[in-house]
Amino acid sequence: MASILTSFKDDALIALDTLADRASGLVNPSVRLGVTGLSRAGKTVFISSVVHNLLNGGRLPLFEPVRSGRVSKIRLEPQPDDAVPRFQYEEHIAALVRDRTWPDSTRAISQLRITLDYESASGWNRMFSPGRLSIDIVDYPGEWLLDLPLLSQDFRQFSESTVQRARSGSRGSLSGDWLALASSIGAATAADEGDARRLATSFTAYLKACKEDDRSLSTLPPGRFLMPGDLEGSPALTFSPLPDLPEGRPPKGSLWSMMERRYEAYKTHVVTPFFREHFARLDRQIVLIDALQAINRGPEALLDLEQALADVLACFRPGTNSWLSSFLTRRIDRVLIAATKADHLHHESHDRLERIAARLVSRAAERIGMSGAGLDVMALASVRATREATVNHDGHALPVIVGTPIAGERINGEIFDGEKKTAIFPGDLPENPDVLLKDTNHPLPELNFVRFRPPHLEETRGGLKLSVPHIRLDRAMQFLLGDRLA
């Protein structure tokens, strides 16, 4: 993938960065863990919960280094990259634990280093390893990851694929204003800044409409159009795909020529630096997805999530590092796709959620010809906001989940105030995932997913709050990090 996405100069810079990282790692071993998520999947919550459970002795029975007692000390340390903002762990965990509110999602890249002192399980390793591993957690928006395939597309390819999607399914009703505007202006018309701004604004409005909760679509590049940051208003973000481009090259001085130039600037000044400076330096990666939200919205949202996963998996360079090649280039040798918010279901449906996510991933991997080596799928809840119970309904025991719905959530006409607890039967996911992926009139199961507040944490006699509860967070940590602490 690197040879397709980057130039020789970029590859050389990546090799130099990797060599510097490896040299540093001989003194202070480290692993760079990328954390990203698609459409409100909870990456900020995931990172906060991982760190909180490590620092506060959380229940992590499937994370072998902690369970076996081989980890002796865990601490936060200054991150190695001074130019990257620090992940504000303290603020995020205060929101979760003290205020019982979900922290704001980060809209830019950030980083946090947590270091573990441990005793290797291998006598040989104990002779040569310093018994210390720094985990550099790199948090970045999923929209940035979905931009990477743009590096292998020219403006015509980008326009054709974007317009084709925009004309299909429910996107057709959302993209009408933008496509009509683009057609009325015409690609061959003289370049005009006012036209460029109107097109960029209309295109951005279309992308935002696709992302709204009532649609929950996932494949929405270019990602910075949805989170421009300090690039807002710059020429690199003032462009739009153009429909029905004629054959040949754009006329000199035309709107088409302007849009093509700005698209290439976006790739050069936005996408390539992210790839070279951050993504290409990762060792491990977790991608969080909100499959439940897509299930709620029906087959179109699920199929769009599958397409997004295919685009995501295409970004990873499969395979493991040899001893020599690891000093010159990095490969992300373990990728975890995690379906979050498993606590919104009774545990009887957790395996079904995992099978649905696995089916989406396997179909996406087949689409791009990727093998399953180093790839895993699981269902988890970074923070468990509910508990399970059983209620009697018409003489039958009904499995339910109990929690505090967020203020404004509506259930059967009742609007909740954010304080009252309630028991909810969320419904059962189908045993066969393919039922959800068929765009037919087949009746789907009735599912009742609502948003809950974070749980109230009990305190010890010494006033110390217990660690954040979770579902399978330890299993995820074992897959991503266990071998590096062996």
Q: Which pair of structure tokens corresponds to residue 462?
A: 């010494």
pLDDT bin (cut points 50, 70, 90) of residue 466 is confident
Residue with token string 């990666």: 285
**Diameter over CA atoms, the chain:** 76
Report pLDDT for 316: 79
By the 10 Å C-beta count (0-12 exposed, 13-18 middle, 19+ buried), 253 is classed as exposed
330 φ, ψ (degrees, to nearest 5): -105, 150
Average pLDDT on 159-173 reads 94
Position 264: which residue type? E
Residue 297 has a CB neighbour count (10 Å cut-off) of 18
Judge whether residue 429 has pLDDT over 50.
yes
Q: What is the spatial distance between Cα 453 and Cα 350, in angstroms, rounded to a whole number?
A: 20
Judge whether residue 203 has pLDDT over 60.
yes
Report pLDDT for 461: 59
Q: What is the spatial distance between Cα 261 and Cα 240, in angstroms, rounded to a whole number?
A: 11
Give the rounded percent of residues in the chain with a pLDDT score beyond 90.
63
Judge whether residue 130 has pLDDT over 70.
no
**Can you list the domains of the chain with their CATH numbers?**
2-140+278-383+472-485 (3.40.50.300), 149-272 (no CATH)
Report pLDDT for 436: 86
**380 vs 130 pLDDT, higher one:** 380
* Segment 110-125, tens digit of pLDDT: 999 999 999 987 655 5
Average pLDDT on 449-476 reads 84
- Among 103-107, 126-130, 172-176, the range with the most confident prediction by mean pLDDT is 172-176
**Out of 52-66, 155-169, 183-197, 295-309, least confident range:** 295-309
Position 75: which residue type? R
Report how far Cα 433 is from the mean position of its chain's Cα atoms. Answer: 22
From the list 199, 175, 202, 177, the residue with the least C-alpha distance to 189 is 199
**Out of 120-124, 152-156, 325-329, 348-352, least confident range:** 325-329
From the list 356, 469, 339, the residue with the least C-alpha distance to 403 is 469
Judge whether residue 23 has pLDDT over 50.
no
Report pLDDT for 197: 97
Average pLDDT on 344-358 reads 94
Average pLDDT on 281-290 reads 95
Report pLDDT for 298: 84
**402 vs 7 pLDDT, higher one:** 402
Report pLDDT for 372: 64
Q: What is the spatial distance between Cα 264 and Cα 336, in angstroms, rounded to a whole number?
A: 31
* Segment 303-324, tens digit of pLDDT: 999 999 998 888 875 444 433 3
Report pLDDT for 216: 81
